[in-house]
Structure 1
Amino acid sequence: MGDLEIRAATAEDLPAIVAMLADDPLGAQRESLDDLTPYETALERLAADPNQHVVVAVRDGRVIGTLQLTIIPGLSHKGATRALIEAVRIHTDERGSGLGSRLIEWAIDTARRLGCRMVQLTSDKTRTDAHRFYARLGFTASHEGFKLSL
């Protein structure tokens, strides 16, 4: 099965990342492999920001998972720093293999190492399988989220 490596994403990883982002009904509506330019620009901006960590999980030279971890310094909770997990995706062939848990464990360990006191994430209300997954990992649905498209 090969060893799993979790490392910083590179521009060469973008086709695999975007394919995973697009591989569900929600992502298929908003992601496209037709033009990687906006993703390349975004990854350059993310890579230049020390509070952003976009990683891929690679096994046998193949990108099979990804997530973004954002470190957010704050004033609330006595100036606590928190971490935000976003864009967690696992390749279809790897779902149910434990890879998602490994990626989330990586994010939690990294957040702890960087001095965060809390890890949070959001998940679309329609992703009920993901909600069960996060609950199994100890996350609680403690807040209601809101978005405003600009």
Structure 2
Amino acid sequence: MGDLEIRDATADDLPAIVAMLADDPLGAQRESLDDLTPYRAALERLDADPNQHLVVAVREGHVVGTLQLTTIPGLSHQGATRALIEAVRIHSDERGGGLGSQLIEWAVDTARRLGCRFVQLTSDKSRTDAHRFYARLGFTASHEGFKLRL
């Protein structure tokens, strides 16, 4: 299937990233390829923040996966820095082939290299396949998550 490169996302990658974000029942309700302006503004904010790492997985010149890794300094756990994995998406043509595992492995390795003491993530309750995937990779469902839309 060709070599895989994981690299920082660029503005040129936005259409492919947004298409992957929109390519499921949840994402289809909240993402739109009609206007990339808000995504460009978000990418500029991400690029300006050294604690943000938006990456894409590229195979044979095509963006086939993405995730965002955020490092969060804190006081708890004796001043530990933690890493948060968000917005993991794999192109539909690549699902089931191990790319998701490679992306998560990249995130965990990067978090370790950046001095994080643990990695955390959230996954919508309806994404039961994703829950099994994360459990297979060693993640535990140790907390209950809450959100408040503003």
TM-score normalised per structure 1: 1.00
Residue 50 of structure 2 is aligned to residue 33 of structure 1:
no
**What SS is found at the alignment partner of 1:78?**
helix
Match of 1:48 in 2: 48
Match of 2:72 in 1: 72
The residue type paired with residue 88 of structure 2 is V
Match of 2:130 in 1: 130
Equivalents in 2 of 1:47, 1:60: separation in Å?
A: 25
Q: RMSD value over aligned CA atoms?
A: 0.3
**What SS is found at the alignment partner of 1:58?**
strand
**What SS is found at the alignment partner of 2:74?**
coil
Cα deviation for residue 2 of structure 1 reads 1.4
Equivalents in 1 of 2:77, 2:141: separation in Å?
A: 19
What is the aligned length? 150
Equivalents in 2 of 1:44, 1:61: separation in Å?
A: 23
The residue type paired with residue 118 of structure 1 is F
Match of 2:16 in 1: 16
Match of 1:98 in 2: 98
Match of 1:59 in 2: 59
* Unmatched segments (≥5 aa) in structure 2: none
Equivalents in 2 of 1:97, 1:50: separation in Å?
A: 31
Cα deviation for residue 133 of structure 1 reads 0.1
Equivalents in 1 of 2:48, 2:101: separation in Å?
A: 27
Q: Which runs of 4+ in 1 moved over 6 A?
A: none
- Percent of aligned positions with the same letter in both sequences? 88
Equivalents in 2 of 1:93, 1:45: separation in Å?
A: 30
**What SS is found at the alignment partner of 1:45?**
helix
How big is each residue's C-alpha offset from its partner over 1:82-121, in whole Å with a ceiling of 9 and x where there is no partner? 0000000000000000000000000000000000000000
**What SS is found at the alignment partner of 2:67?**
strand
**What SS is found at the alignment partner of 2:117?**
strand
Equivalents in 2 of 1:33, 1:46: separation in Å?
A: 19
Equivalents in 1 of 2:46, 2:107: separation in Å?
A: 16
Match of 1:116 in 2: 116
Equivalents in 2 of 1:48, 1:107: separation in Å?
A: 19
How big is each residue's C-alpha offset from its partner over 1:113-148, in whole Å with a ceiling of 9 and x where there is no partner? 000000000000000000000000000000000000
Equivalents in 2 of 1:11, 1:47: separation in Å?
A: 10
